[in-house]
Amino acid sequence: KMAEVSRREFLKYIAALGVGLAIGGGIGYSARKPEVKIVKKGAEEVGGKIKEKIKIGHIAIFSGPFSTYGELQKRGSLLAVEEINKAGGIMGSKVEIIYRDSAAKPAEAVKQVRSLVESEGCDFIIGIDSSGVVLAVAEVMPEVNKLLFVTHAATHRLTEELVYKKGIKQVFRIAVPVYQDGIMAAFIASKLPAKRWGCVHPDYEYGYASWELFKKTLAKLRPDVEFVGEAWAKIGTTDFTPLISSIMEKKPDGIHTVEWGFDLFTFVRQAKQTGLFDAVKYDGGYAWINPMGYSIDAMEALKSEYPEGCWVSGRYIWMYPDTPLNKKFVKAHLDRWGHFPAYSGETSYTAVYMIKKLIEMTKTLDIDTHIKTLEDSTVYSPAGVRFIRKKDHQAVYSVPYGQIKHDPSYPIPVLTNLQSVPAEDYYRHPPFKEMPPFRELYKKVLPKA
């Protein structure tokens, strides 16, 4: 809760901190050390060692065509662990992080959760790439009774159904949910000239949820649009041309796609070859919206192959926000790995530091105490200010969309013309009975999009 301080006052204050990650319950804030911090009235940050090692289990995809995504997460979490241990650990306890491969399979991920907790003695679990996987993993968290910090998987069903409705309190999502992929994407689409929208999406939960939210929101924002075609690609598709042809037959002038990873590389290249980009070109860019298109793996793989002017985003963008903390993180990541940080790298980095400060503040590994501390808290992180909602344990923060630009000063494309709306205005809210845009958006938010 923001409690006594107004949101505007708090944001001014948090900007003055310069660097750090603050997690607070809205009771009191402190600027003692220019580092990651949790602050709450009456709490001291450092005390005696709780145990010899704090163990964190990190589950991600480390094999198969999407294995890059595990590596992107690992860069962030390992960087955080190295920084923390170099500075003395957590209250004197060294941090050990153990990586396990989900293989993008729900059953395998559940197996790894049990192993990490029961055999390895992990105190916390972070990670999870796939929407289908996270729904399975969340179901077993009450049984193992450890906190899970979700750093990638996006389905809204996790927080809306499993946390809010079913009451699974052991799960917190640090990453932007599918609201970014569907709802925020619709705000961008509403400002483009396209009136006939089609989609090419992965054929599983993430694709279905993104398209459904996109259609419902855009239909409200722009009653004049039509949704003329859908194409669904199996994971690992190597030939998108039949799907592209089926969409082009519908003559769309706008495309919404949440393809990601290796599938995205293939799709973009074949879309160029078949003329799909030409079909959605307008004066000022392309009516092409790819919510996770600014993943670092995509930019490093495609580079100039991804046409300038396409609209893309992520769950974090390394050039945003322009804060000392984000600049510090980007530099540290570049120095350690030789790559700009991916969105899942930032969320994994933030998750580890949240664990550090939870322990330092509460001086315990008691999960109930940690849950109460995190609920209605505020997190100042490289991605900006995150608000952790009590009812659904979703981190609320805004990530902009931008248009791809090829700048020879950088080894990968950058984004220009950044566009955003306040996260609290495009995120769905408990009890999740209404769809954005909310009533006040027509006058207050949409003109600013």
* pLDDT at residue number 433: 82
Instruction: Name the stretches of the chain with pLDDT < 70.
Output: 1-47, 435-449
Q: Do residues 219 and 273 make contact, with C-beta atoms less than 8 angstroms apart? A: no
Whether 228 is in a domain gets the answer yes
Q: To which H or E segment does residue 58 belong?
A: strand 53-60
Q: Dump strand ranges (E) for 206-303.
A: 226-233, 254-256, 281-282, 285-286, 288-290
The alpha carbon dihedral of 243, 245, 250, 251 has a sign of: positive
List the one residue out of 292, 383, 352 whose CA is nearest residue 68: 292
Can you give the pLDDT at residue 424?
78
Neighbour order of strands in the sheet with 401-405? 226-233, 196-202, 254-256, 288-290, 311-312, 401-405, 414-419
| 211 & 330 share domain | no
Contacts of 66 (CB under 8 A, 6+ apart): 104, 129, 261, 262
Q: Looking at the domain assignment, is residue 404 inside a domain? A: no
Instruction: Say yes or no: 93 and 216 in one domain.
Output: no
Among candidates 299, 313, 310, 334, which has minimal Cα distance to 413? Answer: 299
Amino acid of residue 170: Q
Whether 407 is covered by a domain: the verdict is: no
Which residues make Cβ contacts (< 8 Å) with residue 210, sequence separation at least 6?
Answer: 178, 181, 182, 185, 201, 256, 258, 291
Q: Is residue 59 located within the same domain as residue 126?
A: yes
Q: What is the pLDDT of residue 436?
A: 67
In a domain, residue 441? The reply is yes
Task: Let me know whether 169 and 187 are in one domain.
Answer: no
Say which DSSP state 158 is in.
Answer: I
So what's the pLDDT on residue 65? 86
In a domain, 427, yes or no: yes
Q: Are 247 and 255 in contact (CB under 8 A)?
A: yes
* Token pair 């499993």: residue: 162
Give the β-pairing of 311-312 and 288-290. parallel
Q: Give yes or no: residues 184 and 169 share one domain.
A: no
Which residues, at least 6 apart from 444, have a Cβ–Cβ distance to it below 8 Å?
425
Q: What is the CATH number of the domain that holds 273?
A: 3.40.50.2300
Q: Identify whether residues 77 and 50 lie together within a single domain.
A: yes
Domain that holds residue 336: 7-176+321-396
Contacts of 304 (CB under 8 A, 6+ apart): 406, 413
Q: Are residues 297 and 354 in the same domain?
A: no
Shared-domain flag, residues 122 and 172:
yes
Same domain, yes or no: 278 and 325: no
In total, how many domains does the chain have? Answer: 2
Alpha-carbon gap, residue 95 to 85, rounded angstroms? 6
Please tell me whether residues 352 and 365 are part of one structural domain. yes
Question: How far apart, in whole angstroms, are the C-alpha atoms of residue 437 and residue 445?
Answer: 9
403 lies in some domain: no
In a 10 Å sphere around its CB, with 0-12 CB exposed, 13-18 middle and 19+ buried, how is residue 413 labelled? Answer: buried
Of the candidates 258, 247, 243, which has an alpha carbon nearest to the alpha carbon of residue 205?
A: 258
Task: Copy the structure tokens of residue 267.
Answer: 């799709």
Q: Is position 406 within any domain?
A: no
209: Cβ contacts below 8 Å, ≥ 6 apart: 131, 154, 155, 156, 157, 178, 181, 182
Do 190 and 121 share a domain, yes or no? no
> Could you give the C-alpha distances from 400 to 50, 121, 136, 308, in angstroms and in order?
40, 39, 30, 17
Tell me whether residue 1 is in a domain: no
Query: Do 249 and 303 share a domain, yes or no?
Result: yes
